[in-house]
Amino acid sequence: MFGINKSNSLTTSSRTATYRTGKFIVHLSMFYISILLMLGYSFGSGDMVEALSLITYQINPDLFSSDLYIQSMTSELFNERYLYILTLGLFQNHIETWAIVFHAISSLVLFSGLYKIASLFLPSRFFRWISLYIMVVLLNQINIGGNELYYNFIVPSLPAKAAGAWSLYFFLREKYTRSALFIAISVIFQPLVAAQLLLLHLITLLVNLISGKMTWKKQNNWSFMFIIPVIGYLALLSQYHQAVDLSSSDYFNIIRLRMAHHFFPAHFGLVNYIIYAILTISALYYFYRQNRTLFWWILAIIDGCLIYIILIHLEIELALMTQWFKSTIWLEYLGVLSLVAMINERLMMRINMAYFFSGLLILLSLIIYMKWPPLDNKPYEFADSWMDTYEVEIAEAAGDLTTEDAVFIIPATNSTFRHVSKRSVFVDFKSISHNKAYLAEWAYRVNLVYGLDHHADRQVGFNSIPYAAQHYANLDAQDLVQLKKDFGVTHILTYIDHVLPFKTVARTAKYAIYEIKPTDEDFD
């Protein structure tokens, strides 16, 4: 008569869990929308252009027959973008729509994973979300590896880090098979993210086993079912990248010329180092008391950075290939988490998150509507609004007014031309592969077109762009005729104030296209 109805109890518990899950999904979605409003959304330029060009090639393999980047990336099955391109290219005819959907899925998975990590240390839901806002918004573009945890456009590392966040969460929960599964998902999109996480997990596990903090259980053996294929895939990629001999000096100089902000600590910025030092000290102090596994995990990142600095000073290629400083993006979040956790220990704030997010979304929408700073210049490139640029305008003209076998040279700052025009590019500063054969040829052509010699002692990385622009603007008819004779370059895209004695194919308010058509005497 007075017994407990277990069926009703289970039903109530199930309804409560469903309600909490539904509420969290609503809050997560509102958080994502607020991030879109704060940071905007980009499409069609920057780091997306390489993927979009490869998808264009998938649709029509007859294109880009003389394009250095496309031909290099598609010459072998295994490259660092292959599986990501397959995913991004699932809906080729609706790429703008699929890109934002893919971005939303990746972002929601990332944010939920970071939130779950925060839930292990922060009792307050409000502070969990605040830790994400600090990391994603306040510390945006503060890094010491040229890397962000979140991007406002779809790139390979975004879904890879989304899976990586869940791998770390399950690793901390000692559910190693699930952690390994998410590493296997991560490697599909960005092998480097997966490789770094795998190494950090293995080092931390080894420390815990040696110190007796944990014992290996038989059920954990299932994790090898995912780890072994990951290691095999990484080995194949390494073989692909190292297939051609290139001296260590040349390899280092080419990487320094194009990607110093990713590889060389001297280019990371003093302010970034100061902020990271604060976050690192906070993380070590807090997690030494709260979670020794994370403490050792963080120490592995730091020690790896010190080893990396020494080895690249000695020009050891293997160290450079790890891009180890990119792993500090996880250290950045854990540092933020530790600071917020110490605040949360002393301050408990009970705030209705539905009201908080609703008020924030209304405020952000008002700021955008009124075109107030700092949101007045954010990109909101949804649907086809990304096409309203001078770069897209001239690229479309190139596609309409030239044949498919045309070969262009383009300014170093232009990153949309190839995939919009559907025309081959002799070389461009933006598109890069870590394959040594590509790097050697890329460096040779970059010197021809932009005057950037990787042997020379001058500005590198983004700082070399002004020099490249100046050299490009001074290319004369003789230089271009030589490119035509030696390499079959047929057209030049340049700025309108760069006047050349060739036929004008197209002209806009900012750009001009010339057909390089020398006289018979020029070939004598």
pLDDT tens readout for residues 159-212: 999 999 999 999 999 999 999 999 999 999 999 999 999 999 999 999 999 998
Residue 481 lies in a domain: yes
Q: Do 157 and 189 meet the contact criterion of CB atoms below 8 Å apart?
A: yes
Residue 497 lies in a domain: yes
* 256 shares its domain with 340: yes
Residue 492 lies in a domain: yes
Mean pLDDT (whole number) for 328-355: 95
* 321 shares its domain with 190: yes
Residue 128 lies in a domain: no
| Separation in Å, CA 517 to CA 21, 351, 480, 513 | 65, 69, 9, 12
Per-residue confidence (pLDDT) for residue 522, from 0 to 100 = 47
Per-residue confidence (pLDDT) for residue 272, from 0 to 100 = 96
3-state secondary structure of 494: strand
Given a cut of 60, whether residue 447 has pLDDT beyond it is: yes
**384 φ, ψ to 5°?**
-105, 15
Residue 120 lies in a domain: no
Per-residue confidence (pLDDT) for residue 325, from 0 to 100 = 96
Residue 106 lies in a domain: no
Per-residue confidence (pLDDT) for residue 271, from 0 to 100 = 96
Dump pLDDT digits (tens) for 240-295: 666 667 888 888 999 999 888 899 999 999 999 999 999 999 999 999 999 999 99
Structural domain for 276, as ranges: 78-88+162-346
* 219 shares its domain with 304: yes
Per-residue confidence (pLDDT) for residue 22, from 0 to 100 = 92
Q: What Rg, from alpha-carbon coordinates, does the chain have?
A: 26
3-state secondary structure of 407: strand
Q: Which residue has the tokens 């690249």?
A: 312
Per-residue confidence (pLDDT) for residue 520, from 0 to 100 = 44
* 288 shares its domain with 436: no
Query: Residue 1 — very low, low, confident or very high, per pLDDT cuts 50/70/90?
Result: very low
Given a cut of 60, whether residue 521 has pLDDT beyond it is: no
Mean pLDDT (whole number) for 296-315: 96
Last residue of a domain, one of 346, 374, 405: 346
Alpha-carbon distance of 248 to 254, in angstroms, equals: 10
* 337 shares its domain with 415: no
Query: Residue 23 — very low, low, confident or very high, per pLDDT cuts 50/70/90?
Result: very high
Mean pLDDT of the chain: 92
Query: Residue 83 — very low, low, confident or very high, per pLDDT cuts 50/70/90?
Result: confident
Alpha-carbon distance of 430 to 49, in angstroms, equals: 9
Given a cut of 60, whether residue 388 has pLDDT beyond it is: yes
Per-residue confidence (pLDDT) for residue 33, from 0 to 100 = 98
Last residue of a domain, one of 346, 378, 408: 346
* 517 shares its domain with 399: yes
The verdict on whether omega for the bond into residue 374 sits within 30 degrees of 0, i.e. cis, is yes
Given a cut of 60, whether residue 110 has pLDDT beyond it is: yes
Q: Do 35 and 137 meet the contact criterion of CB atoms below 8 Å apart?
A: yes
Given a cut of 60, whether residue 524 has pLDDT beyond it is: no
* 216 shares its domain with 336: yes
Domain count, the chain: 2
- Of 518, 435, 441, nearest to 481 by C-alpha is 518
* 429 shares its domain with 492: yes
- Of 187, 277, 273, nearest to 236 by C-alpha is 187
* 173 shares its domain with 319: yes
Residue 99 lies in a domain: no
Per-residue confidence (pLDDT) for residue 120, from 0 to 100 = 97
* 399 shares its domain with 312: no
Last residue of a domain, one of 346, 361, 396: 346
Residue 38 lies in a domain: no
Which tokens hold the place of 25? Answer: 């999904």
Q: Do 209 and 220 meet the contact criterion of CB atoms below 8 Å apart?
A: no
* 208 shares its domain with 329: yes
- Strand pairing category for 424-425 and 407-409: parallel
Helices (H), 120-156: 125-133
- Highest mean pLDDT pick, 64-78, 271-285, 373-387: 271-285
3-state secondary structure of 21: helix
Mean pLDDT (whole number) for 366-373: 95
Per-residue confidence (pLDDT) for residue 321, from 0 to 100 = 87
User: 214 versus 378: which is more confidently predicted?
Assistant: 378
Alpha-carbon distance of 230 to 516, in angstroms, equals: 48
Mean pLDDT (whole number) for 97-117: 97
* 258 shares its domain with 187: yes
Q: Which residues pair with 515 in a beta bridge?
A: 491, 503
Alpha-carbon distance of 160 to 164, in angstroms, equals: 6
